[in-house]
Structure 1
Amino acid sequence: MLKKVWLLVVLTVLSFSLTGCLVGEGKYLKKVEEAETLDKSLVALQKQYKALNAENEGLKATVDKLNKDVAGLGKEKEKLVADNKELDNVLKAKSDTLSKNISELRQKIADLENENAKLKEDIASLKKAKEEEVQKTSKTYEDLLEKMKSEISQGQVTISELKGKLTVNMVDAVLFDSGKAEVKPDGLVVLQKVIDILKNIKDKSIRIEGHTDNVSIVGALAKKYPTNWELSAARAINVTRYLQQQGIDPTNLAAIAYGEFKPVAGNDTPEGKAKNRRIEIILVPKE
């Protein structure tokens, strides 16, 4: 009985021992499993640390670059500020110059307007003087027409007026004998009619022009007048001298010879030649 009891006690102790061993082994395995899990977590954390550290280094590099960029922008800003100041100075100088130019132009415009106003006055004065001159010329023209009705009707004299130029055209037969340059008595009578009108004219120049036909001078007369130049000149001069002798101011007189080189008609007919042999007394404005 006692053996049975002892055996039971031993079995009981063994049972408890085995149970304790099983319990201790389970705890151990659990600890090992926890340790492995911790190792894996540690490895993962180490990887994450390295990644974060690398990212941090990249961020530091980015920050350094940004700092350099900021420094560069600061220098660029300083340069832009300096350039802007210089530009302001340039613009101010140009603005001052432009203002001065505008002021000068305004003054020039004012001066030109004054000159224009004066020019208009001068033009008006000249126009008025021209009208008065034309009126005087027209009056002279009318007086000559009235005075020389007889000669005009006989075709010995023609009188024309154009643009302030008055011309008394006298055929040579009225004034001269053939081949001569001295004014004949009947010619002096005709000239006197012209002189009576011209002697009152002080503001005109009087040109006496001698003209001939194209017939060459021959024979004994050629010794005195080698060409028509000399004959036309002598006739113009004699008429001019006579006008002077009758009191016309010589400073207003001029004698001109054209010879045969300024015809008013063809030299192929006697009538045309007769028209070309002439003395023209021309009134023109003084220069």
Structure 2
Amino acid sequence: MFKRIAAMIIMGSTAASLSGCLVAESTYLKKVEEADTLTSGLGELQKKHDQLIADNTALKQAHEKLKVEAAGLSKDKQELEQVLKAKSDTLSHNISELRQKVTALEAENNALKAEIINLQKVKEEKVKEVSGTYEQLLQNMKNEIAQGQVTISELKGKLTVNMEAAILFDSGKADVKPDGLSILQKMVDTLKSVKDKAIRIEGHTDNVQISGPLTHSFPTNWELSAARAINVTRYLQKQGLDPAMLSAAAFGEFKPVAENDTKEGRAKNRRIEITLVAKD
């Protein structure tokens, strides 16, 4: 009985001992598993730490590079600002000069416009004066004009009175005949009123050469045309025209207005022209 009880005690103790060993082993395994998990996590954290250190180093390098570039940009900015300021100063100076030039040109243009307006008025007055002279001469010499002995033309402010030589001179003569003086007298008052034009008297002939006794006075048509022009000029001077406004010119047969192969053409070429021209 005692032995049975002892055996039972031994068996109970053994069972209790085995039960305690099983609990300790389970806890150990759990701790080992936790340690492995922590070791694995530590490795990952170490890798992440190493990567972060590498990234940090790269960022620091980038930061330093950016600081250097920023310093360079700051210097470039200062230089650019200096260049821009210099250009701005130059432009301001140029603009100031241009404004002065524009002001001067505007003043000059205004003066020129005023002068143009004034010249236009003067021109209009001169045109009116020439036109007035033209109208007066037409009225005064309407009979001679009607007979075809006198023509009066006006072109671009130039007025010309064309008179056939036959109404002023006898054939081969240079002295103005009485009837011719009467015709010239019709123009005197009108020509006296001309103030801003010179009066040119031109002598013209046909191409028939001087012959016979006339050659003693007029060797060629030059002398005849000159003498006739001068005599008309002298008459106008005697009638009170300012001699400073008068001039005489001789063209002989070298400025015809018609053909010399007909009697009518030669008659037209033998002429005196009184022309109002611009003063020298």
Q: TM-score, normalised by structure 1?
A: 0.74
Instruction: Using the TM superposition, give the Cα deviation of residue 42 of structure 1 relative to its aligned residue in structure 2, in angstroms.
Output: 1.9
- Once residues 45 and 250 of structure 2 are traced to their aligned partners in structure 1, the CA distance between those partners, rounded to angstroms, is 121
Q: Which letter maps to 2:66?
A: L
Q: Which letter maps to 1:26?
A: S
| 1:173 maps onto 2:166 in alignment | yes
Give the one of 149, 153, 156 matched to 1:160: 153
Alignment of 1:36-185 (within 5 A): 36-176=29-169, 180=172, 182-185=174-177
| 1:238 maps onto 2:227 in alignment | yes
Instruction: Using the TM superposition, give the Cα deviation of residue 70 of structure 1 relative to its aligned residue in structure 2, in angstroms.
Output: 1.9
Does the 8 Å contact 1:182/1:235 carry over to 2?
yes
Does the 8 Å contact 2:230/2:248 carry over to 1?
no
Rg (Cα) greater in structure: 1
Instruction: Using the TM superposition, give the Cα deviation of residue 36 of structure 1 relative to its aligned residue in structure 2, in angstroms.
Output: 2.8
Q: TM-score, normalised by structure 2?
A: 0.76
Q: Which letter maps to 2:24?
A: K
- Once residues 236 and 52 of structure 1 are traced to their aligned partners in structure 2, the CA distance between those partners, rounded to angstroms, is 132
**Equivalent in the alignment of 1:257:** 251
Instruction: Using the TM superposition, give the Cα deviation of residue 63 of structure 1 relative to its aligned residue in structure 2, in angstroms.
Output: 1.4
Instruction: Using the TM superposition, give the Cα deviation of residue 157 of structure 1 relative to its aligned residue in structure 2, in angstroms.
Output: 0.9
Instruction: Using the TM superposition, give the Cα deviation of residue 283 of structure 1 relative to its aligned residue in structure 2, in angstroms.
Output: 0.4
Change (3 A) 1:78 1:54: same
**Equivalent in the alignment of 1:16:** 9
1:150-181 alpha-carbon deviations (Å, 9 max, x no partner): 42232211223344221101123334556x47
Instruction: Using the TM superposition, give the Cα deviation of residue 270 of structure 1 relative to its aligned residue in structure 2, in angstroms.
Output: 5.0
Does the 8 Å contact 1:195/1:243 carry over to 2?
no
DSSP 3-state at the match of 2:160: strand
- Once residues 266 and 12 of structure 2 are traced to their aligned partners in structure 1, the CA distance between those partners, rounded to angstroms, is 176
DSSP 3-state at the match of 1:155: coil
DSSP 3-state at the match of 1:158: strand
**Equivalent in the alignment of 1:34:** 27
Structure 1, gaps ≥5 residues long: 1-7, 225-229
Change (3 A) 1:133 1:235: farther
- Once residues 127 and 144 of structure 2 are traced to their aligned partners in structure 1, the CA distance between those partners, rounded to angstroms, is 25
**Identical aligned pairs, as a percentage?**
41
- Once residues 209 and 122 of structure 2 are traced to their aligned partners in structure 1, the CA distance between those partners, rounded to angstroms, is 50
Structure 2, gaps ≥5 residues long: none
Aligned length: 268
Instruction: Using the TM superposition, give the Cα deviation of residue 52 of structure 1 relative to its aligned residue in structure 2, in angstroms.
Output: 0.8
Instruction: Using the TM superposition, give the Cα deviation of residue 196 of structure 1 relative to its aligned residue in structure 2, in angstroms.
Output: 5.7
Alignment of 1:272-287 (within 5 A): 274-287=267-280
- Root mean square deviation, CA, Å: 3.5
Q: Which letter maps to 1:60?
A: I
Change (3 A) 1:234 1:54: farther
DSSP 3-state at the match of 1:284: strand
Q: Which letter maps to 2:125?
A: E
Instruction: Using the TM superposition, give the Cα deviation of residue 267 of structure 1 relative to its aligned residue in structure 2, in angstroms.
Output: 6.9
